[in-house]
Structure 1
Amino acid sequence: MSEHLESLKVNHCRISTFKVEGKHYLRLLQLNGINSLENFYFEEKPDSLEVVSLGNIEISWEVIHEVIGSASLIQNLSLLHIDGVDFETISTSFPLLKKLSISYPKATVNLSDRLQFATLGILEIEWDEADQHFAKWVEKLILKCPELFECVVTGFISKISSDKLCSNMQSASMLYERFRDVKFEKVRFTVTMQCLGVIGGHVESARGFKGTISKNNGACGQYVANVIILAKKVALHHL
């Protein structure tokens, strides 16, 4: 690898080994949609990294952290659909972190009382399925970020029953209700749900909603409730 290379992006391919040899000055690393990835390592510690985006790769967080854990200059970290992400390790390893993008874990992840993202300003959360713990979990995570000024929550739904569709939209509605709390008045929230390709006799067309919470935006909760009712009627119509 050239010592002058500062940005490296590898997307949507099939490789078994990703290895960075020799001295490097990488500032940006992006790996997305790589199938069959078994080995991931740097010969030299990637201490110059500032932006890391990893998504849909078959490598656990434990392995990823072994590789980038010493890169204390990272300010922008994206870990989408990565197994076993540990938030406390992230907070202690990357003290300059300003933006974090994550997927809602499929298994319940406890957020310890000592966890804090002291410098985080932007938090992005993606989810494919929200359970009864989702809204409370998001709220608790936000409270760990004292400098947060923007939170974006995006849900993707496909090929599910009408009951599951309404359940997920209800979880999003609960987020609105929680975000209207006065303790979040300094944070700008955007909640988006995309319902795509729902088949099997249920919703056949793409439907969703998007809203932004601000301190004086008291109508958002009612808006979401209306969307939930509409989605249910549409789903029943296609049964």
Structure 2
Amino acid sequence: MISMSSNLRVLRLWDVVFDDEDDVVDLETIAICFPYLSHLSLSNDLRDGVIHYGLEGSYHLHNVAVLEVGWTVISDIFSHWVEELLQRCPNLEKLIIHGTVSDAKTPEECQMLAKFYFLHCSADAAVYACRCVF
């Protein structure tokens, strides 16, 4: 089925439920199987503290111009994951970030959100548009 979809331009992996903490989505395979991919949308459920998207290898997603990322729980793990993804999308034009922010935030959580925004949205000159949806 993957080989029949090699011309895929948009891939959205949102609300994917993993049965096992060892289950991962291999992004290198996505890069190889979908060379024309221009819009990648990934949500990361960090409730169990595990990243389910493999970032091993030296692949790049050269045609990805729009990257959407989301979280259920903000953490440094999510921030590092997004940083790795940004490095693998050299022609990125737009970064869209979806996240859940509860009403009550500790000072540490507010600091993490501010750090995340400044690291990934305001300081990256390669990203022309960054929209944060909280």
TM-score in terms of structure 2 length? 0.77
Matches within 5 A, 1:187-198: 187=127, 188-193=129-134
In structure 1, the partner of 2:35 is 95
Q: CA deviation at 1:171?
A: 3.1
**Corresponding residue for 2:60?**
116
| Aligned residue number for residue 12 of structure 2 | 78
Question: Any idea what the Cα deviations from partners look like across 1:31-63, whole Å, max 9, x if unmatched?
Answer: xxxxxxxxxxxxxxxxxxxxxxxxxxxxxxxxx
**Deviation string, structure 1 residues 169-212 (Cα, Å, up to 9, x no partner):** 4333222221333xx2131211221xxxxxxxxxxxxxxxxxxx
C-alpha displacement of 1:110: 4.8
1:170 is matched with which residue?
111
Among 149, 153, 171, the alignment partner of 2:97 is 153
DSSP 3-state at the match of 2:25: coil
- The answer to whether the Cα contact below 8 Å between 1:172 and 1:191 also exists between their aligned partners in 2 is no
Show structure 2 runs of 5+ residues with no match. 19-23
Q: Distance in 2 between matches of 1:111 and 1:105?
A: 16
Question: Amino acid of the residue matched to residue 128 of structure 1?
Answer: T
- 2:21 paired residue number: none
Is the alpha carbon distance of 1:174 and 1:162 closer, same or farther for their aligned partners in structure 2, counting shifts above 3 Å?
A: closer
8 Å Cα contact 1:135/1:174 also seen in 2: no
Where in structure 2 are the equivalents of 1:122-141 lying within 5 Å? 122-141=66-85
Aligned length: 122
The C-alpha deviation readout for 1:51-108, integer Å capped at 9, x for no partner, is xxxxxxxxxxxxxxxx435410100111102133221111111000000111025313
Q: Which has the higher contact order (CA 8 A, sep 6+)?
A: 2
Which structure 1 residue ranges, 5 or more long, are not aligned? 1-66, 194-239
Q: Determine which structure has the larger strand proportion and give its number.
A: 1
Q: Could you list the runs of 4 or more consecutive aligned residues of structure 1 that deviate by over 6 angstroms after TM superposition? A: none
Q: TM-score, normalised by structure 1?
A: 0.46
User: Is this contact kept in 1: 2:39–2:64, CA < 8 A?
Assistant: yes
Q: Find the aligned partners of 1:69 and 1:125 in 2 and give their Cα distance.
A: 25
Distance 1:98 1:142, change over 3 A: same
Distance 1:90 1:161, change over 3 A: same
Structure whose CA Rg is larger: 1
RMSD of aligned residue pairs (Cα, Å): 2.3
Instruction: Please give the secondary structure, in 2, of the residue aligned with 1:130.
Output: coil
Q: Per-residue deviation at 1:161?
A: 6.0
